């Protein structure tokens, strides 16, 4: 199994209500930052993607692109968007880290009692997306999700730094907190509780494996005429490859 281990926000205005539209426009102009998203003029310079470039197996094709992204020195190359939805059908998306992939699927780890964990319990289907702007490449993956075995979860858990193991016990992910002090207190409690002993795998923490039934490879091209190829799993286990309009 291949194992690949390895977010930022900016608010120019802490209290936007204090700034008039005219003042904001002038400030952006001074900062030389466009406040109109439609003003983006990024030009795609990809060399293109042909059917003959593709491996018949989408997992192997993913491996080829993933390796190229590593060789290109892309930071957080295993960061991916994970989209889930609960019984209310409202989608939710966040960034998680891919920890391994093989013919069985794509693996990530989290708190089973988190928002995404509850959504996956109610609706075990999800989608992943990778975007590497340096290579002008995007990969979309969707399929059914299942929990990894406890043995697999334990193996990865033990590979994490001690602080990360303790935080899996201390943080009740997605729970509302009165303040940071609550989280810090829980961390201190867990540190004292386990001391120098091996930290056990929390019952509420482990991995998920997304087993793909659709995988799309997107290569940026000039004039927004991008190359897109979609793999769709067939009933016999094979894959149908189709070119999609950009």
Q: Of the candidates 135, 129, 130, which has an alpha carbon nearest to the alpha carbon of residue 73? A: 135
- CB contact at 8 A, 92 and 119: yes
- CB contact at 8 A, 241 and 229: yes
Q: Of the candidates 132, 128, 23, which has an alpha carbon nearest to the alpha carbon of residue 70? A: 132
Quote the CA–CA distance of 156 and 113 in Å, as a whole number: 19
Cα–Cα distances (Å) from 91 to 82, 119, 120, 126, 177, in that order, read: 10, 10, 11, 10, 24
Catalytic annotation, pick one of 224, 228, 230, 243: 224
224 an active-site residue?
A: yes
Strand locations in 18-156 (E): 79-85, 91-97, 100-102, 105-111, 125-132, 137-147
DSSP conformation class of 47: -
Quote the CA–CA distance of 122 and 72 in Å, as a whole number: 39
Task: Tell me which residues are annotated as active site.
Answer: 224
């Amino acid at each position: 199994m291949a194992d690949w281990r390895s977010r930022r926000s900016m608010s120019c205005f802490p209290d936007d209500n204090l700034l008039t539209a005219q003042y904001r426009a002038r400030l952006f102009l001074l900062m030389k930052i466009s406040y109109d998203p439609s003003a983006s003029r990024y030009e795609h310079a990809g060399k293109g993607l042909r059917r003959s470039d593709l491996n018949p197996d989408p997992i192997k094709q993913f491996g080829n692109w993933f390796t190229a992204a590593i060789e290109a020195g892309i930071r957080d190359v295993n960061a991916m968007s994970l989209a889930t939805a609960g019984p209310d059908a409202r989608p939710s998306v966040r960034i998680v880290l891919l920890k391994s992939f093989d013919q069985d699927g794509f693996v990530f780890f989290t708190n089973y009692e988190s928002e995404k964990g509850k959504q996956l319990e109610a609706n075990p289907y999800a989608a992943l997306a990778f975007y590497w702007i340096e290579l002008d490449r995007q990969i979309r993956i969707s399929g059914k999700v299942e929990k990894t075995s406890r043995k697999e979860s334990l193996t990865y858990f033990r590979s994490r730094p001690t602080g990360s193991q303790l935080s899996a016990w201390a943080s009740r992910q997605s729970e509302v907190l009165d303040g940071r002090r609550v989280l810090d207190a829980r961390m201190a409690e867990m540190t004292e509780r386990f001391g120098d002993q091996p930290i056990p795998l929390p019952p509420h923490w482990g991995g998920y494996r997304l087993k793909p039934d659709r995988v799309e490879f997107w290569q940026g091209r000039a004039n927004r005429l991008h190359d897109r190829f979609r793999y769709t799993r067939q009933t016999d286990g094979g894959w149908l490859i189709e070119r999609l309009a950009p």
